[in-house]
Every structure is written in C-alpha cells, then in structure tokens.
Structure 1
Amino acid sequence: MKNITRYLGLALKLLVFLLVLGFALKNSHSIQFNGYLGQVWQAPLIVMLGLAFVLGVLTGVLALLPSIFRLRREATRKGRENDLDITITQPDIPVV
C-alpha cells in the first residue's frame, strides 16, 4: 500500500509538472512590465508569473517568522517546565 501511494504521488507531481510546462510553452511571448521611475522590464510571461509567485511565497514566509519563533520559544519553555515538574514532584507515600 505504501508503494502505491508513493507512485500515485509521483504521478501527480509529473502531471502538475507537465501542466505547468504546457502553460509555459503556450505563454512564451514577451511582455512588458512598467515599474516605478520609468523602469521597463521585458521578459516572457511565465518568467513574470514565476517571479510573482516566488515573491509571494517569500512575503508569506517572512510574515510568519515572528509567530514561528514565538511558538518555538513557548514550546521550549513549556518543555523545560515539564522536565522540572517531573524531577521536583516525587510522591511522599511509598508505593507498596
């Protein structure tokens, strides 16, 4: 069963790759991007879309970094507190 799911995952990845490749080949004409201060860039449409995707992912990751670090600090602190609780609290009554 494990091999079947791995092969299905590979087939799905191949299908997505082929769809993106076909999209790139159909949209290979050059477009013009007008930036600030009169900057003009010309590149294929798929390059501009890929650049926009990468910039969006980087922006999302940067926006999540403070939350990730805060949660990591809290988890570490709670782990230390749990370790201290285990070592400090010992039963006073002997177990028979």
Structure 2
Amino acid sequence: MRVFVWLLRAFLFFALFAFALNNQQVVTVHWFFGFVWNAPLVIVVLAALAAGLVFGVLSMTPSWWRQRRRAQQRPVAETPPSAEAGPTAVAAHAIPADFPDGI
C-alpha cells in the first residue's frame, strides 16, 4: 500500500510539474481601477488556489471555534466499566441527546 501511495504522489508531482512547464506564457490580469498584473499563467493559477485555500480556512474558522467551545463545555460522562460488558463497551447514555452524531 505504501508503494502505491508513493507512486500516486510521484505521478501527481510530475503532472503538476509538467503543467507548470507547459504554462509559462505571460498573461495579463486586469484588476479594478486600471491595475494590471503581468505574470506567468502557472503563477496566476497558484495564486488563485492559495486565495481559495485561505478563503476556505477563514470561512470555516467560526464553525471550528464553535465546535471546540461545545466540546470543552460538554461534561465527560464517567461510567465504571461493567464486568459483563467488557472494557470496550460503550454505555447507551454516554452520548448526550443534544449531540446525536457524537460531535
């Protein structure tokens, strides 16, 4: 399995490298108020990818904070393990009704 993962990574690297080599033409990006940016196409694509990643992380941050606050406020249910159930058994009342999906 590890060999397959490394082969997939190598293929992805070489595909992106070939994409970068094939897109070295200079393109012009016209912004607002007459601002113009001339850069290689691959740089423009990577900048758009980076901007999308930053926007995605920033848009998810409030949700992550909310979930983290909920997890810190939730009391930990301490139930002694029963002898007949075994150490891996989970009590039915261990998951509060407010969080049916366990999150």
TM-score range, shorter chain: 0.7 to 0.9
Would you tell me which structure has more helix in proportion to its own residues? 1
Report what 1:72 is aligned to. 68
Out of 18, 30, 36, the residue aligned to residue 32 of structure 2 is 36
Alignment gaps of 5+ in structure 1: 88-96
Alignment gaps of 5+ in structure 2: 80-103
Out of 44, 50, 63, the residue aligned to residue 48 of structure 1 is 44
CA distance in 2, matches of 1:17, 1:45: 18
Q: How far does residue 7 in structure 1 lie from its aligned partner after superposition?
A: 2.0
AA in 2 matched with 1:43: A
TM-score (structure 2 length as normaliser): 0.72
CA distance in 2, matches of 1:72, 1:65: 10
User: Across the two proteins, how many residue pairs are aligned to each other?
Assistant: 79
TM-score (structure 1 length as normaliser): 0.77
CA distance in 2, matches of 1:37, 1:65: 32
CA distance in 1, matches of 2:25, 2:13: 20
The list of structure 1 runs, each at least 4 consecutive aligned residues, that deviate by more than 6 angstroms after superposition, is none
Out of 57, 63, 69, the residue aligned to residue 59 of structure 2 is 63
Report what 1:82 is aligned to. 76
AA in 2 matched with 1:41: W
AA in 1 matched with 2:72: T
